A and B are shown apart, each in its own frame.
Chain A
Amino acid sequence: MHRDEIPPGSLYLLILKTLSRGGVQHGYEIARAIHRVSRDVLQIEEGSLYPALQRMLARGWVRAEWGSTAENRRARYYQLTAAGRKQLEIEISRYERVTQAIARVMQPA
């Protein structure tokens, strides 16, 4: 099973988008969702995921609350804030700008 690295800089975009699509989720759910939606191509290392979540908390893009899973286990649930939604838009437009630029470069002359 081959897994690709997450392109640098797009980690926040992926997490923000996942939270925006799936609502309140805990860390593992976020990682799973990205893995699943990307059809098993993108795998987020936990070593990247949790520090990234902490940075996003610190910047106010997400907020976290402790809650219980369906199996009644304590878990930290993350949720987008207004600032996070705004950030998502910024990240998306940046992403589009970059991919379009790359696409233009890759076009056969």
Chain B
Amino acid sequence: MRRSDQSLRQYIRDVTTRVRMWLGALVHAEQFDLEMDEELRMHQELKMRELRETGITVEEARYSARRQMGNALRLREESREAWGWNWTEQRIADVGYAARTLRKNAGFTAVAILTLALGIGANTAIFSVVNGVLLRPLPYTQPERLVTIQSNQSLPDLEDIESQSQSFEAVGANTMQRLDYTGGAEPLQVFAITCNAELFQALRTHPALGRLLTADDDHYGAPGAVVLSHGFWTRQFGADPRVIGKSMPLSGNSYTVVGVLPANFWIPGPKGDLYASLRVVYPAAAKARGVHFLRTYLRLKPGVTLAQAQLEMDRTDASLAHAYPDYNQSRHRHLMPLLENVVGDSRAALLILFGAVGLVLLIACVNFANLLLARSASRQPEMAIRAALGAGSRRMIAQVLTESLLLALAGGAAGILLAQAGIKTLLAFAPEDLPRLGGIAIDFRVLAFTLGISILTGIVFGLLPARSAARISLGEGLKESGRTTAGSRASLRLRRTLVVAETTLAMLVLVGAGLLVRSFQRMQSVAPGFQSDNILTMRLELPEARYEEAAKQRLFRTGLLNSLNALHGVRAAMISELPMSGDSLNHNLSIEGRPVKLGEEPDVQTRTILGDYFSIIGIPLLRGRDFSAEDREDTPVVVVVNETFVRDFFPNQDPVGAHIRWSRDDPTHWKTIVGVVGDVKHFGLDQPEEPAVYDLYSQIDEPWKRWMSLAVRSSREPGELAREVEGRIWALDRGLPPTAVLTMKDVIDASVTPRKFNLALMSIFAGVALALAVIGIYGVVTYSVTQRTHEIGIRVALGAQQRNVVWLVFGEGAQLAVLGAIIGLAGAEVFTRFMASLLFGIGVHDPLTFLAVAGILVSVAAAACWFPARRAMHVDPMVALRYE
């Protein structure tokens, strides 16, 4: 016991002494050296005395002692190495030396750092978007336990799912509703997230102020309670905590503010201003089993896997199909992780951009290696001298690597600055439907990424020149000066290979950008199916409190259209779902005389209009007749269908006169098809149109359809016109806020934003890639001209024409560019298929793109050879031959 105690104490003392010595000596390196010296001096003295005793002279003794002492310096160095400082010291010396040489070669250093900064900066910016959108976990407690049902659901189905399953801790659901807030100075449309109380349990949200919705707020007939978003609370109420308990007029009903959400609260979809119970805000829709409009948030119980939950969900599907065949006959509910659902389609595009920007980095790195090689060639004499002075090859490699690492880290730092500016631009540009843009920033993960690629770049691409530094032969290195030797020819060959490689990579990026450009052109040339010029649009929604009855709505609509059409040079109509606005609504279709199994009725788009919509917006009538003033509330219900509808349901038949109805409606409510109009690109220029049925606001029995978009054709200035239209609206109803006041051209533009975003980024990458590759070609050709000055001089002396000399240089550049282009095209054949989802109207191997891009690359490369060619042209044979 005592012994082990003692040895423990001994051990601790040993360790502390060692640490103290290690640290102490590191800090007091001088002290360490002094102590070593003292120890050695004593040793020497004792030894001399001993030697003297054996009878030799003082001089001999001293000499002998010294000799045996060996090189005192080396001894000291070895002793220091025992503690591992020597390595550190050498590295510090290397860094110091590298920093000095780099400073002396400011031009080279600037070009190298800039090259890397471009590559690393672009990568950091895109990675931060990839990180922010795809990788970053959702901002909830245990977000990995949150799943969602892929399709939207109705509340009654969700209630049954919850009561029939054991897998879920909470089943949250929400949708978005526009409500009019009339408590401020002007009527204001607010985005209300209508949800169930369980939404907050599923997301594990805690209020910043007050409380969240509870079961007491979330039943039919409960008094209205709202929870404010932090942003709305700040904007509208100046972040006043006394707002709790206040009442808020929303679309004619009164709600009480019960709480405020934290500032960082986030949910997928549009930003909500406030949260209220769906059962309270919209009881009719909440009760309807057939209205599938809820996004779901299901929190798995601990220990339940997604697969288990899906198995249980499949059983629930079967039981619901049995209980409610009308609505659940063929509904299959597929569970997926919430994150995957939120990220959705943006994944493919982002990963392709990330791949492209990765290629740009690779090109930058190849250029960097090329620069280093060029430099190491010009440094051969210096290296040879260092080798001659005894620097080992390991030490030389370490030196070269230190330099490239230093450059790469500087490039990384500059890259982060570039990225910061780049991210700002990206975010300004980015399409709104790219999810989770808000949190994109340079976080620790991005910094780690940047540091990682910088170090990797420095080491991997520094190794090439480092290898050549290690192979330096003393004689060659010292002798060489200007004349081509075997060594520099080998290095030139390596550099040419690198240039071909980077041209190949640039070609890949260029082809990618080219395909996107062509897709965009194709899309731009798609006819939208209507005339977008001189059309002003805006959206209106009649509040339920004041416009519950269809008659009141009708009065407002006809009143407004009459009032607008009375304006000089103005024609106005309205439609429930404006093309490319993102709005759409569908019904199940039944056609007279064609019975279909329950639950298997086809979907059709339904759009409700009023006024001369088709002629105002320029949709051509193809068959039958347009709606007319004779089609009124009390006349037979008529509808107009689009071309796709005819193609899908009446191929090679005349649909005019046929009867259709909505499958869920009264089976006697038939509508008669009276006309066929042209298709419009309702879902975007790059999307196919779906079968659609147009009906009339004046004839529908759907009082819940309280929204509409105005389409106003006029050659007047849109801003001025908009103010006038607003005036007419407010003359009828002071409490109606028009939203989405846009020209039709703006609407189309907004619908192509995602494509524009991808295109803009890809083009920038392609530009950078091309520039880097061309700089690479220019560098090698210029270098080669310098190397061949002597040869060119001889050629000129032997009678070569300027033309021949120019061709010599151009030939070299063109050879590299063409080789790179050919390999690049072959590579593009393989890689472009990953882009298929981003293309429109062209194949992944679009020959025109491939050829055009190759042409651009080769001609730009040729242009870059002009400078060295001109230099070669002016070589004076006398000077060149003397130049030895």
Contact = CB atoms under 8 A, between A and B. Distances in A.
Nearest to B32: A54
Interface in B83-105: 83-84
Interface string A46-68: 11001100110110100100100
Contacts of A45: 68, 70
Nearest to B84: A58
Chain B: interface residue count, which band? Answer: 20 to 34
A51 B39 CA distance: 12
Chain A: interface residue count, which band? Answer: 20 to 34
B533 interface: no
Q: Which of A26, A74, A81 has the most CB of B within 10 A?
A: A81
Given A28-B43, A28-B46, A75-B39, A57 B68 contact: no
Contact of A51 (B21, B68, B78): B78
Interface in A28-52: 28, 31, 45-47, 50-51
A83 interface: yes
Nearest to B38: A74
Contacts of B191: none
A46 B75 contact: yes
B568 interface: no
B47 interface: yes
Contact of B83 (A47, A54, A74): A54
B18 interface: yes
Contacts of A63: 14, 17-18
A31 B65 CA distance: 14
A73 interface: yes
Interface in A58-109: 58, 60, 63, 66, 73-76, 81-83
17 contacts: A26-B42, A27-B39, A27-B43, A46-B68, A46-B70, A46-B75, A50-B43, A50-B75, A51-B79, A54-B80, A57-B82, A58-B82, A74-B38, A74-B42, A75-B42, A81-B10, A82-B7
A58 B83 contact: yes
Interface in B26-43: 35-36, 38-40, 42-43
Contact of A57 (B7, B18, B80, B84): B18
Contacts of B10: 81-82
B68 A55 contact: no
A36 to B, nearest CB: 11
A99 to B, nearest CB: 27
Given A54-B83, A66-B35, A82-B11, 8 more contacts: A27-B39, A27-B43, A46-B68, A47-B70, A50-B36, A50-B40, A50-B75, A82-B7
Interface of B: 7, 10-11, 14-15, 17-18, 21-22, 35-36, 38-40, 42-43, 46-47, 68-71, 74-75, 78-84
A31 to B, nearest CB: 8
B87 to A, nearest CB: 13
Give 5 closest A-B pairs by Cβ, nearest first: A47-B70, A51-B78, A54-B82, A55-B82, A54-B79
A60 B15 contact: yes
B15 to A, nearest CB: 7
A28 B70 contact: no
A75 to B, nearest CB: 6
A27 B22 CA distance: 20
B42 A73 contact: yes
A109 to B, nearest CB: 42
Contacts of A27: 39, 43
Contact of A46 (B11, B14, B40, B80): B40
A46 B21 contact: no
Nearest to A66: B35
Nearest to A52: B82
B75 A81 contact: no
A55 B7 CA distance: 22
A51 B32 CA distance: 13
A44 B403 CA distance: 41
A51 B43 contact: no
A51 B14 contact: no
A47 B74 contact: yes
B222 to A, nearest CB: 74
B7 to A, nearest CB: 5
A54 B17 CA distance: 13
Contacts of B78: 47, 51, 54
A55 B86 CA distance: 13
A24 to B, nearest CB: 14
Q: Which of B10, B40, B82 has the most CB of A within 10 A?
A: B82
Contacts of B70: 45-47
A28 B79 contact: no
B40 to A, nearest CB: 7
Contacts of A26: 39, 42
B43 A60 contact: no
Contacts of A50: 36, 39-40, 43, 75, 79
Q: Which of B10, B43, B47 has the most CB of A within 10 A?
A: B43
A10 B348 CA distance: 64
Contacts of A73: 42
A47 B72 CA distance: 8
A28 B18 CA distance: 22
A91 B667 CA distance: 99
A54 B83 CA distance: 7
A51 B81 contact: yes
A83 B609 CA distance: 92
A31 B18 CA distance: 23
B218 to A, nearest CB: 68
A50 to B, nearest CB: 6
A11 B441 CA distance: 58
Contacts of A58: 18, 22, 82-84
A81 B36 contact: no
A82 B10 CA distance: 8
Contacts of A76: 35, 38-39
B46 A57 contact: no
B69 A47 contact: yes
Contact of A83 (B14, B79, B82): B14
A101 B771 CA distance: 68
A28 B11 CA distance: 26
A28 B68 contact: no
Nearest to A61: B14
A41 B42 CA distance: 23
Contacts of B11: 81-83
A97 to B, nearest CB: 26
Contacts of A28: 42-43, 46-47
A55 B83 CA distance: 7
Contact of A47 (B14, B38, B39, B75): B75
Nearest to B54: A1
A27 B10 CA distance: 22
A9 to B, nearest CB: 17
A34 B75 CA distance: 20
A32 B82 CA distance: 23
Nearest to A56: B82
A46 to B, nearest CB: 6
A74 B42 CA distance: 8
A12 B444 CA distance: 47
Contacts of B75: 46-47, 50-51
Contacts of B71: 47
A45 B83 CA distance: 20
Contacts of A57: 18, 21, 82
